Amino acid sequence: MGDIQAKIQPCWVVAESRVARRWLGFSPQSLVAPGEASKSWASAGRIVGAMARAGVRRDGRLAAFGGGMIGDLAGFCASIYMRGISWIQVPTTLLAMVDSSVGGKTAVHSGGAKNIIGSFWQPSEVLICPELLQSLPRREWRSGAAEVWKYGAIMDPALWHELESEPLGPARPGLEKIIARCIQNKAAVVEADERETSGRRAILNFGHTIGHALEAATAFKRWRHGEAIAIGMAVETAISEVIGLADSGLSQRICAGMERQGLPWRAPEDLQLEALIPEMKRDKKAGADGIAMSLLSELGACRLWRNVPEQAIKEAWQKCSA
Ligand SMILES: NC(=O)c1ccc[n+]([C@@H]2O[C@H](COP(=O)([O-])OP(=O)(O)OC[C@H]3O[C@@H](n4cnc5c(N)ncnc54)[C@H](O)[C@@H]3O)[C@@H](O)[C@H]2O)c1
Ligand SMILES: [Zn+2]
């Protein structure tokens, strides 16, 4: 951590109070309250306003020290301040290390819509220090772990096997290598489709059509992101089986993986699928031809599938809630 502190100290540091107190030996310039509510247009305005008042110049640098919430918010500020200044990311959650810090997407929420204002603005550096995960609560661990399993499912079956033999946790041997592998996997996809125009980047959205619908239908309060994605991966793989894209048995394998990691996978019985369908139609992958999902055909192979029949979603939902 010493090297990282020295590197970010000259920057305009954006961090969460709790995480900063635990890990930073100095007080950051912009302190943000924990929680998604801070990822707002108003917070961004406060941060860039303070930077302007302090006279941060065009050659100044910003540093994001925190989870995905801080990374998205601070990165957005870096992208709009003086039409864009250089920034560094120091992810402090597993999810941010393996996912949100790679790819250059920044955003804030507005008007009740998630990530509706944002930009593509690559950080000049991402500094990963797994030691920071020592203070991460267990539930946040599991949430990040879901995205790690996702890479295994969509493009890296060997990684899936490794996780099956030993799931992720603070003391897991080889953790650093696994984090590095996820970053390589994500970087390879992003390089092929940085601005999400060819459809390739959509494979990273496996589990997310259903997962986002679950999060939205429960006002983002019931599950951590990765938990909703775990259920999403199970149900979406059941859909692959129902439409004949995958052999039967694959969804059983996905559910067993989630179970092994202590993640949920059952479709919640108290939620009506009918309430989720409109959310799926609002998903960014959806087109005029209906609901779109990134579906597995086998372990390690995923592609964007358009016009997924609602009947297939219904059947899969029932299979997964049984
Ligand atoms: N830009 C992208 O490509 C991308 C990709 C995925 C997710 N995201 C965004 O990332 C956000 C979710 O990220 P997240 O799961 O990291 O959530 P988060 O940033 O809200 O962090 C989760 C919780 O962990 C705490 N925390 C963070 N680091 C800690 C540490 N080292 N020790 C103890 N506690 C710590 C935080 O206080 C918070 O309560 C969402 O806003 C999502 O939209 C962005
Ligand atoms: Zn995700």
How far apart are alpha carbons 12 and 251 in whole angstroms? 46
pLDDT value, residue 287: 87
pLDDT value, residue 156: 98
pLDDT value, residue 195: 87
**What rounded mean pLDDT belongs to the chain?**
95
Mean pLDDT of 281-302: 94
Mean pLDDT of 10-16: 97
More confident residue, 210 or 17: 210
Ligand 2 centre distance from Cα of residue 129 (Å): 21
Q: What is the DSSP string of 189-210?
A: HHHH-TTS-SSGGGGGGTTHHH
Q: Is 254 helix (H, G, I), strand (E, B) or coil?
A: helix
- Point out the ligand 1 atom lying closest to the alpha carbon of residue 144: 15
211 lines ligand 1 (CB under 6 A): no
To the question of pTM greater than 0.85 for the whole model, the response is yes
How far apart are alpha carbons 156 and 204 in whole angstroms? 12
Query: Residue 58 above 90 pLDDT?
Result: yes
CA nearest to 84, candidates 55, 56, 58, 103 = 58
**To 5 degrees, how large is the angle CA 22–CA 27–CA 33?**
70
- Point out the ligand 1 atom lying closest to the alpha carbon of residue 115: 43
- Point out the ligand 1 atom lying closest to the alpha carbon of residue 147: 6
96 lines ligand 1 (CB under 6 A): yes
The set of catalytic residues is 83, 105, 147, 186, 196, 201, 205, 208, 212, 225
Cα end-to-end distance, the chain, whole Å: 47
66 lines ligand 1 (CB under 6 A): yes
Mean pLDDT of 85-108: 97
CA nearest to 240, candidates 303, 290, 158 = 303
Q: How confident is the model at residue 122 (pLDDT cuts 50, 70, 90)?
A: very high
CA nearest to 90, candidates 108, 105, 74 = 74
Q: How confident is the model at residue 2 (pLDDT cuts 50, 70, 90)?
A: confident
Q: How confident is the model at residue 322 (pLDDT cuts 50, 70, 90)?
A: confident
108 lines ligand 1 (CB under 6 A): no
103 lines ligand 1 (CB under 6 A): yes
Share of the chain above pLDDT 70, in %: 100
Ligand 1: residue whose CA is nearest its atom 33: 136
Ligand 1: residue whose CA is nearest its atom 35: 136
Q: Is 40 helix (H, G, I), strand (E, B) or coil?
A: strand
How far apart are alpha carbons 146 and 144 in whole angstroms? 5
- Point out the ligand 1 atom lying closest to the alpha carbon of residue 224: 15
156 lines ligand 1 (CB under 6 A): no
Ligand that lies nearest to the alpha carbon of residue 211, given by its number in the listed order: 2
pLDDT in tens, 14-49: 999 889 999 998 999 999 999 999 999 999 999 999
How far apart are alpha carbons 147 and 144 in whole angstroms? 6
Mean pLDDT of 81-106: 97
Residue 221 CB neighbours (<10 A): 7
Asked if 148 and 163 touch (Cβ cutoff 8 Å), the reply is: yes
Q: How confident is the model at residue 225 (pLDDT cuts 50, 70, 90)?
A: very high
Mean pLDDT of 258-279: 95
